[in-house]
Amino acid sequence: MAEPTADLLFEIGVEEIPAPAVLPALAQLDKLLTDGLAEARLAHGQVRTFGTPRRLTIIVSDVALRQVDLAEEVKGPPAAAAFDADGNPTKAAQGFAAGKGLSVDDLEVRETDRGAYIFAQVTEPGRAALAVLPELLERAIASLTFPKTMRWGSLDFRFARPIRWLLALLGPDVVPVEVARLHSDRVTWGHRFLSDGPIAIAEPSEYLAKLEDAHVIADHRRRLQMIEERAAAAATEAGGRARLDPDLVEEVSFMVEYPTALVGHFDSRYLALPADVIVTVMSGHQRYFAVENPDGSLLPLFIAIRNGDEQGLDTVRKGNERVIEPRLADAEFYLTEDMRTPLPDRLESLQRVTYIEGLGSLYDKTERLEAIVHWLCAQVRQVEEAHQTHAARAARLSKCDLNTNMIGDTKLAKLQGRVGAEYARRSGEPEEVALAIGEQYRPISAADMPPATTPGRLVSLADKIDHVAACFRIGLRPTGSADPHALRRAAQGIVRIILDARWRIDLPEFIMLALGNLPENQNAKAIPEEQAAAQIHEFLLARLEAELDTRGVGYDLARAVLSAPSPDLLDAYDRALALRNIRSSDPEDFERVIMAAERTANICRGPKAELALTLDADALAEEHEVALYEAFEAAGAALESALAGPTPDYEAAWAAPAGMCGAIDTFFEEVMVMAEDEAVRLNRLALLAAIDDLLLRLLDVQQIVIEGEA
């Protein structure tokens, strides 16, 4: 007979919760309840979550009405202590039995590895789900975490926003929950204006439909789809195509409970503004979607998503048009004012803008960027003359948009670089220069692409290494999750650009150059240059390690590759990917080589660190040590030729140590490394050290974790 079950419905009613907080909270709620029910021994079916600005909801289907009984065996004291010589129970046995609610007769004696012990069979009968769930739900609410929480009223309780009601039902029954001085009930609330009063929910299955009657589409997936469809239809009707930025669609879907699209107009004279500016004015504060022609150019239209139905839609449209107008007028005013001074003429004024306290002005920074760009061009070699000229010019003008009116508006500040690009164009700069200015901050996120043009890459690299160097130099390295100067993002950008461009850049020199360019500073927190350089090196390698992780290079292999000294990031990257391929194509062979090499490393690294080991090839006498030496010489030559030239062939390089493997194994079987004669012993260690050094050209074998190894 199937156990009786019922659906569980739990809704947390809140004052409008920030859009980005809803999905992560739902994911947590799902996990908290799934884990909680498992721990509470309550079987259940499907788990679904729903979120709107005013509610976080979870519905668990078919929750067992009663916990599974718990039967467990508890071990007590040793039999010797539990019974006296006459076989009568002692106090210890009586106490143990009483503690489990049993009599001494219920105890069993059983032999274990450690002798005879007494055992009790304890059964805990399952409790009703209705008795277990209140605490489970209360704990779930208290366990939810948010990027930012608050207090309200006289409570010490914290949540993302004030909680206003709790709906908790198991089938037809209210699950009594108390949180933040609120008691759960069977009542929910519909749309703030399109619904009247509280709505009683008889049982979970009617929740979604009753809310829909009350103008709330509780399922966020459906709201998202409605927004896409309605916005697209509205745009088509207006003769254009909606630009449905997925992030914006998702954000808007968590700002409304009942989406209705409307098309608004703005004066077409504003189309003279840079398109980025128009789109940002519309999407940034107002969360409007842009409407474009088939060629991608903008139409003087926007799509707003209203929280409600069609009633009064015309009034709402006019209201929204009134809001966007002054915002576009502000941008137009900025553009007119800004254009009075061509972009290059703004350079001098950067002398009055501090970059970072103690590290000079933005003007000083642009001079440093130019110097770094020139150095990079020399390093990378294949950079065309024209690219170099454009990159240097872009570096010089890169910060000129920062003191424009446009970027001075906090809502448009994120267009830094892109506004500079547009102004550079309008000031008659070459297109390549404009593009590079526009790309200097890219990639701005993990989802963004690195710059596509060579001048853009050069300026972006220069900007990022200068920023990282400046911050580390004055002790502003990120700690824990706090990274106020976005240094991780900058470092990640450096790694991604270098890998994307496939440039060989001597990393220690690059770092020292950036540090050396910085002005002398008296900052109290400043750290010595060498120390900063070491920290930056380590920091960049950590970003490369993260990048390798996304390419399926195991953490141990990544660490092994990065522990072997590397001239540049691209080299380490290529080496890691080649070794990843070798490892995955024949794991057994890879492990065989690693184990031989690891044995070598384990025995020679200690002496290598302490003694000056010099290999005397002529002194090698035993057959198998001579054989190993010959294998080593062949492997060395093979490795050298594989790594020579501008594009090292790591797969071929790996064949070299692989070829030595048999000789190493035989050597360890047949030859006594720790020979009595000191000269012989040291010479053998020197041979092993030479082999270890050869392998360190590829990886540090000691970092590799082989399954089954301790």
Give residues in contact with other proteins (CB under 8 A).
15-16, 18-19, 53, 148, 150-154, 156, 161-162, 164, 192-194, 255-256, 286, 304, 306-308, 311-312, 315-316, 318-320, 322-324, 326, 352-354, 357
Find the shortest distance in angstroms from Cβ 326 to other proteins: 5
Closest distance to other proteins from the beta carbon of 600 (Å): 58
H runs (alpha helix) in 431-506: 431-439, 454-473, 487-501
Identify the three-state secondary structure at position 492. Answer: helix
Q: Which is nearer to other proteins, 53 or 190 (CB)?
A: 53
Place of tokens 């030479």: 690
* Minimal distance, residue 689 CB to other proteins, in Å: 56
Q: How far is the CB of 230 from other proteins (least distance, A)?
A: 15
Residue 51 vs residues 48, 245, 256: alpha-carbon distances, Å: 10, 21, 10
Q: Which is nearer to other proteins, 112 or 145 (CB)?
A: 145
DSSP states of 367-390 as a string? HHHHHHHHHHHHHH----HHHHHH
Tokens of 544: 């490369």
Closest contact distance (angstroms) between CB of 133 and other proteins is: 25
Two structure tokens written together for 34: 């799934």
Instruction: Give the sheet arrangement for strand 289-292, strand by strand.
Output: 241-243, 289-292, 298-307, 259-265
Nearer to other proteins, 306 or 467 (CB): 306
For residues 576 and 536, what is the distance between their CA atoms, to the nearest angstrom? 21
Q: Which is nearer to other proteins, 470 or 562 (CB)?
A: 470
In the bound complex, what is the minimum distance in angstroms from residue 225's beta carbon to other proteins? 21
Q: Which is nearer to other proteins, 357 or 385 (CB)?
A: 357
Helix (H, G, I), strand (E, B) or coil at 77: strand
Look up residue 488 and give its DSSP letter.
H
- For the bound state, the minimum distance from the C-beta of residue 476 to other proteins, rounded and expressed in Å, comes to 15
User: Could you please report the per-residue DSSP string of 95-155?
Assistant: HHHHHTT--GGG-EEEEETTEEEEEEEEEEPPPBHHHHHHHHHHHHHHH---SS-B--TT-
In the complex with other proteins, the residue whose CB is nearer, 314 or 670, is 314
Q: Which residues contact 320 (CB under 8 A, 6 or more apart)?
A: 262, 264, 286, 288, 302, 304
Give the count of beta carbons closer than 10 Å to the beta carbon of residue 90: 15
Distance, in Å, from the CA atom of 233 to the CA atom of 225, rounded to the nearest integer, reads 12
CB count within 10 Å of CB 583 equals: 18
Judge contact between 377 and 395, C-beta under 8 A: no
Residues facing 189 on adjacent strands: 198
In the complex, minimum distance from the CB of residue 488 to other proteins, in angstroms, rounded to a whole number? 24
**Nearest distance in Å: CB 66, other proteins:** 36
Residue in 469, 538, 457, 536 with CA at minimum distance from that of residue 493: 457
Residue 161 or residue 396: which is nearer to other proteins going by CB? 161
* Residue 146 · residue 126 · CB < 8 Å: no
User: Quick one: 338 or 568, whose CB is closer to other proteins?
Assistant: 338
Distance (Å) of CA 63 to CA 45, 172, 290, 443: 7, 13, 46, 47
Residue 441: CB minimum distance to other proteins, A: 20
54: which residues sit within 8 A by CB, 6+ positions away?
A: 13, 14, 15, 16, 17, 189, 192, 257
For other proteins, the closer CB: 153 or 428? 153
Q: Which residues, 6+ apart, have CB-to-CB distance to 494 below 8 Å?
A: 461, 464, 465, 468, 540, 543
Of 431, 364, 359, 350, the residue nearest 393 (C-alpha):
431
Q: Which amino acid is at 71?
A: A
CB-nearer residue toward other proteins: 162 or 450: 162
Q: Identify which of residues 154 and 382 has a Cβ nearer to other proteins in the complex.
A: 154
Q: How far is the CB of 56 from other proteins (least distance, A)?
A: 15
Q: Shortest approach of other proteins to residue 562 CB, angstroms?
A: 39
Residue (426 or 485) nearer to other proteins, CB? 485
Question: CB-wise, 194 or 271, nearer to other proteins?
Answer: 194
Residue with tokens 């007769």: 105
Please identify, using beta-carbon distances, which residue of 171 and 308 lies nearer to other proteins.
308
> What angle do helix axes 454-473 and 431-439 make, rounded to 10 degrees?
40
Q: Please report how close the Cβ of residue 256 comes to other proteins at its closest, in angstroms.
A: 8
SS3 304: strand
Q: How far is the CB of 211 from other proteins (least distance, A)?
A: 18
Q: Which lies closer to other proteins via its Cβ, residue 255 or residue 490?
A: 255
Q: Which amino acid is at 151?
A: R
Least distance to other proteins from the beta carbon of 161, Å?
A: 7
